[in-house]
Amino acid sequence: GQNIDQPTEMTATEGAIVQINCTYQTSGFNGLFWYQQHAGEAPTFLSYNVLDGLEEKGRFSSFLSRSKGYSYLLLKELQMKDSASYLCAVSGLFHGSGNTGKLIFGQGTTLQVKP
Amino acid sequence: NAGVTQTPKFRILKIGQSMTLQCTQDMNHNYMYWYRQDPGMGLKLIYYSVGAGITDKGEVPNGYNVSRSTTEDFPLRLELAAPSQTSVYFCASSPTRQGETQYFGPGTRLLVL
């Protein structure tokens, strides 16, 4: 079956570093996405990992280990505006003859940044 | 480009009523998706489409129907609304299959009473 696990809530202090973990078990794997979702808004793309290792993009980095079914999102120099939910999603669930681009989402991690 | 647009933004339905949630994208994306998001939860895939005339079920299709007559439009139909369908509905589209992110619409908040 398919399963994606993330912590439900995290709290961190402005200016600090926080790591949000995601573990997954899926049938077929074609990449892992991280999305940010502010309350009442649509998810927006943060990062994509398909190979093992770290992808850095400004204050945000994402890591993937396919053998361990594990990813994390690292947020540095936290700002108040980073308070949001962070969704881990896995792509590559095959249907029929090919990859449909479908994503399976975790429940999301709500991050609260405090002054 | 407007991206992905959804209408209405908010709707209240009575149990047993029907409605159609509209979704349109102007990016010429082949793939389109409908998700629902319950409070404090992630997104669950309802239906998806890999091109005009082709649709398939996702994780939670019961109580919903879709059609894809054009590349741009992917409406979601609710028949006989139930309180369990109270949720926020997001439509998304993506250009290709591998490595391309999905672009989400602003969402439709539905309340079934």
List pLDDT tens digits, range A1-19. Answer: 678 999 999 999 999 999 9
pLDDT, residue A100, reads 64
Half-sphere CA count of B63, side-chain side, radius 13 A: 16
Distance (Å) from the C-alpha of residue B41 to the closest C-alpha of chain A? 5
Distance (Å) from the C-alpha of residue B25 to the closest C-alpha of chain A? 15
Structure-block tokens of residue A111:
């991050």
pLDDT, residue B97, reads 61
- Whether B34 contacts chain A with CB within 8 A: no
DSSP structural state of residue B99: S
Listed residue (A34, A26, A78) closest to A54, CA to CA: A34
pLDDT in tens, chain B (113 residues): 789 999 999 999 999 999 999 999 999 999 999 999 998 888 999 999 988 999 999 889 999 999 999 999 999 999 899 999 999 999 999 986 666 788 999 999 999 99
The 10s digit of each residue's pLDDT in A59-96 is: 999 999 999 999 999 999 999 999 999 999 998 655 54
Mean pLDDT of chain A: 90
Q: How far apart are CA A63 and CA B98, in angstroms?
A: 18
- Whether B61 contacts chain A with CB within 8 A: no
Task: Using the predicted structure, report yes or no on whether residue A98 has a pLDDT greater than 60.
Answer: no
| Nearest CB to B97 within list A33, A42, A101 | A101
pLDDT, residue A97, reads 43
Distance (Å) from the C-alpha of residue B99 to the closest C-alpha of chain A? 7
Q: How far apart are CA B3 and CA B93, in angstroms?
A: 9
Once rounded to an integer, what is the mean pLDDT over residues A90-112? 76
Query: Which positions in chain A touch B107 (Cβ < 8 Å)?
Result: 41-42
Q: How far apart are CA A42 and CA A26, in angstroms?
A: 24
The 10s digit of each residue's pLDDT in B29-45 is: 999 999 999 988 889 99
Neighbours of B77 (CB within 10 A): 14
Residue B78 one-letter amino acid: L
Q: How far apart are CA A32 and CA B47, in angstroms?
A: 20
Residue B71 one-letter amino acid: T
Task: Using the predicted structure, report yes or no on whether residue A99 has a pLDDT greater than 70.
Answer: no
Listed residue (B71, B61, B65) closest to B24, CA to CA: B71
Mean pLDDT of chain B: 93
